[in-house]
Structure 1
Amino acid sequence: MPADPCPRSAQPTAKAPRKKPITVDRITDAALEVVATEGYDALTIRRVAAVLGTGPSSLYAHIATKDDIDDLLIGRLYAAVVLPEPDPAAWRAQLLGVYSQIRDLYLDYPGVSRAALATVPTNRETLRVGEGILAILLADGVAPRPAGWARDAMSLYVSAYALEQSLVRQRRRHQDQEWVLSHEELLDRFSALPAEEFPQTRRHAAELISGTGHDRFEFTLGLLMDNLRPESG
């Protein structure tokens, strides 16, 4: 019987599939996947590493802390924001349009707006959007300091609004409800309050619970805008 021309010990072995390199984009993709499927509370460096099929130490060449992931997340979302050419005649509509885009991006990823709170943005896309908002305000003649403070206040409100909406989604019993309780339940509860203690709440219960969340979103941004005035002189 002829000798095996390629003894078993010399048989070529199949190479293990080459792992994709860890990159900032892959880290951001994995972080968004965690938030989209498990919520922002589940987002940790260890969880992101697990999604990438590696250990946490593999990520440290690109990030140092969870704050870095937060910055990447907001930067990725803000990359989708379309900024208008500043128009003094349409500045209110332009601001509302930009902040509505940010609101909707936050709402796509439950709780992700927490990543924008109490952080200093360094991502270029986040800074790009901040620059665009500032340009809209300055084009209307608002002085730099009130423009900057107003931008911070409106951004804070949008983040808080989106966070509350994500919590409402978790707590409401029916997915088609706007609030945790239905309007009918709220109206019944307010109307049943003792009249001597809560006369105004009882009398105006329907008005107090009127409007959708987005109606109230536009109303609140409008209140902030109403106090902005062009710089005199």
Structure 2
Amino acid sequence: MAIDARQRRGARKAPLTVQRITDAALDVVASQGYDALSMRSVAAVLDTGPASLYAHVVNKGDLDELIIGRLCAGIALPLPDAAHWREQIIDVCTQLRDQYLAYPGVSRAALAMEVTDLDILRVNEAMLAILVEGGVDPQSAAWAIDALFLYVGAYALEASIVAPAEPDAEDWRVSPADRDALIRRFRALPTDRFPHITRYAEQLTSGVRHERFDFTLRLMIDNLA
């Protein structure tokens, strides 16, 4: 019996949707890094041509906003609690950090973004509500949210550059051997020109996992009170 031509070509392609395009974009970032993300690379994952994407996505900037929105949609947001506002805002930032770290370099997409995506705005709304409930002046809260997003994004971006394969390692910034070498280099500096660097070499190179991240967040947040 003859086989129908359509059967020989395989099953009919699933229709393109914004959800499928976003899934494909995240697949590209997860497997190849953010630098590989383009309309062409996403189209290749979907087995189609780049032109077909433009019926659903305006441009690369639109694609960036979609993937950041998808990551923000995965963040669990608390009901604002004045007694625990610091812990709540730190938890939101930590969740955002972990979402970024799962996709090497993806936080670059969030830099200088004109936000219209509702899932991103949902996180902004929750952070603003937490800070205001905690007694932070609304103007300070608004600027603090911007600063926190920038810091979390920069931290995750550095992680993708320094240790793209294992940003969650015990110490992804520098190996113990490299740290020892760096300490020796600092201590070998002329003490008359660098008295503090030579004296505090261990402190300058300390910190494992996300200790520096936690320290900086608390430094920023505690000054809002």
Does the TM-score normalized on the shorter chain lie above 0.5? yes
1: distance between equivalents of 2:92 and 2:46?
33
In the alignment, which of 41, 48, 52 is matched to residue 46 of structure 2? 52
Query: In the alignment, what sits opposite 2:221?
Result: 225
SS of match in other structure, 2:130: helix
Q: Please list, as runs of the form range in 1=range in 2, the aligned pairs for 1:59-78 lying within 5 A after superposition.
A: 59-78=53-72
Which string of whole-angstrom CA distances, capped at 9 and with x for unpartnered residues, describes residues 136-164 of structure 1? 00101222211100110111100001001
AA matched with 2:204: L
AA matched with 2:211: D
Query: In the alignment, what sits opposite 2:207?
Result: 211
SS of match in other structure, 1:206: helix
AA matched with 1:205: A
Query: In the alignment, what sits opposite 2:123?
Result: 129
Task: State yes or no: 1:157 paired with 2:121.
Answer: no
TM-score, normalised via structure 1 length: 0.88
2: distance between equivalents of 1:61 and 1:171?
35
Q: 1:48 to 1:171 in 2, by over 3 A?
A: closer
Which string of whole-angstrom CA distances, capped at 9 and with x for unpartnered residues, describes residues 24-56 of structure 1? 011011100100010000000011001100001
Query: In the alignment, what sits opposite 1:26?
Result: 20
AA matched with 1:194: P
Superposition deviation, residue 92 in structure 1: 0.6
**Cα RMSD for the two superposed structures:** 1.8
Contact 1:190–1:202 (8 Å) recurs in 2: yes
Superposition deviation, residue 90 in structure 1: 0.5
Query: In the alignment, what sits opposite 2:103?
Result: 109
Q: 1:12 to 1:197 in 2, by over 3 A?
A: closer
What fraction of aligned residue pairs are identical, expressed as a percent?
Answer: 55
2: distance between equivalents of 1:72 and 1:170?
22
Superposition deviation, residue 213 in structure 1: 4.8
Look at both structures and tell me which one has the larger radius of gyration over its CA atoms. 1
TM-score, normalised via structure 2 length: 0.91
Contact 1:171–1:180 (8 Å) recurs in 2: no
Contact 1:107–1:162 (8 Å) recurs in 2: yes
- Gaps of at least 5 residues in structure 2 are none
2: distance between equivalents of 1:171 and 1:84?
31
The alignment of Structure 1 onto Structure 2 pairs a total of residues equal to 218
1: distance between equivalents of 2:171 and 2:217?
23
AA matched with 1:27: I
Q: 1:228 to 1:14 in 2, by over 3 A?
A: same
